[in-house]
C-alpha cells in the first residue's frame, strides 16, 4: 500500500512574486484604477448584476420606509421602528453596491422610472401590519437567494465584491430571521 503524495515546499517555493512585472503593469495600466491583471471576473456581467442588486436594495429601503410610516395597531411602534432601521440598513447596502459599481468602472443606475422593473423584489405597500411583515420577509428571502447565487458566480474572481456581498447577505439573513419571529408572534 503506497502512501499519498504530499507537497513539500521550501521557503523559496512557498511564495514568489515578480515585483518588476507587477510594477511595470501598475504603471502601464494606471488608468484602470483598482482593476489589475489579477482581476479575473467578467466586469460587465458583475456590474449588470450589481445594478440589479442596487435596484433591489433601493426598492426594499423604500418599502420598509413606507411601512415604517404606515404601520398601525398593537405592537406597531416597536415593529415600525425596526422597519425604519431596516430601511437605513438597506440604503447603506445600496450605497456600498453603488460605490463598488463605480470602482469597477461602471455607472450605478438610480433611474427611478425603471427601478421596480430592475429589482429582484416587489414593492408591495400593504396596510396590514402582518402583511407588511410577510412582504418584507418575502423580499429578504429573495435577496438571500440572489446574493447566494451571485456570490457563487463570483467565486474567487472578484474577492472584494464577494466579501461585500457576503456582508450584505449576513444582514439580510438577520432581517429574515427577525421578520420570521415577528410573523409568528403577530
What confidence score (pLDDT) does residue 22 get?
Answer: 77
Mapped onto helix, strand or coil, the DSSP state of residue 49 is: helix
What confidence score (pLDDT) does residue 132 get?
Answer: 96
Residues 45-96: pLDDT tens digits? 999 999 999 999 999 999 999 999 999 987 789 999 999 999 999 999 999 9
What confidence score (pLDDT) does residue 3 get?
Answer: 47
What confidence score (pLDDT) does residue 1 get?
Answer: 47
Whole-angstrom distance, CA of residue 52 vs CA of residue 146:
10
Which residues have a Cβ under 8 Å from the Cβ of 151 and sit 6 or more positions away? 162, 165, 166, 169
Longest CA span, the chain? 73
| Residue stretches of the chain with pLDDT short of 50 | 1-5, 7-9
Q: What is the pTM of this model?
A: 0.84
What confidence score (pLDDT) does residue 17 get?
Answer: 79
Minimal CA–CA distance to 46: which of 97, 4, 113?
Answer: 97
Minimal CA–CA distance to 60: which of 90, 88, 98?
Answer: 90
Residue tagged 415593529 (cell numbers): 79
Domains defined for the chain, CATH in brackets: 41-185 (1.20.1260.10)
Amino acid at each position: 500500500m503506497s502512501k499519498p503524495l504530499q507537497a513539500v515546499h521550501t521557503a523559496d517555493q512557498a511564495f514568489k512574486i515578480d515585483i518588476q512585472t507587477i510594477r511595470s503593469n501598475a504603471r502601464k495600466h494606471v488608468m484602470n484604477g483598482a482593476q489589475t491583471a489579477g482581476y479575473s471576473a467578467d466586469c460587465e456581467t458583475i456590474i449588470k448584476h450589481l445594478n440589479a442588486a442596487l435596484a433591489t436594495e433601493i426598492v426594499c429601503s423604500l418599502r420598509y420606509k413606507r411601512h415604517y410610516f404606515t404601520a398601525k395597531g398593537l405592537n406597531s411602534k416597536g415593529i415600525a421602528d425596526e422597519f425604519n432601521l431596516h430601511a437605513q440598513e438597506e440604503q447603506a447596502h445600496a450605497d456600498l453596491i453603488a460605490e463598488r459599481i463605480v470602482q469597477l468602472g461602471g455607472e450605478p443606475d438610480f433611474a427611478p422610472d425603471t427601478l421596480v422593473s430592475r429589482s429582484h423584489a416587489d414593492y408591495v405597500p400593504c396596510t396590514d401590519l402582518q402583511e407588511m411583515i410577510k412582504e418584507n420577509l418575502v423580499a429578504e428571502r429573495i435577496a438571500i437567494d440572489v446574493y447566494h447565487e451571485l456570490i457563487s458566480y463570483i467565486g474567487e474572481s472578484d474577492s472584494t465584491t464577494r466579501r461585500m456581498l457576503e456582508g450584505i447577505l449576513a444582514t439580510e439573513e438577520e432581517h429574515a430571521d427577525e421578520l420570521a419571529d415577528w410573523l409568528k408572534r403577530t
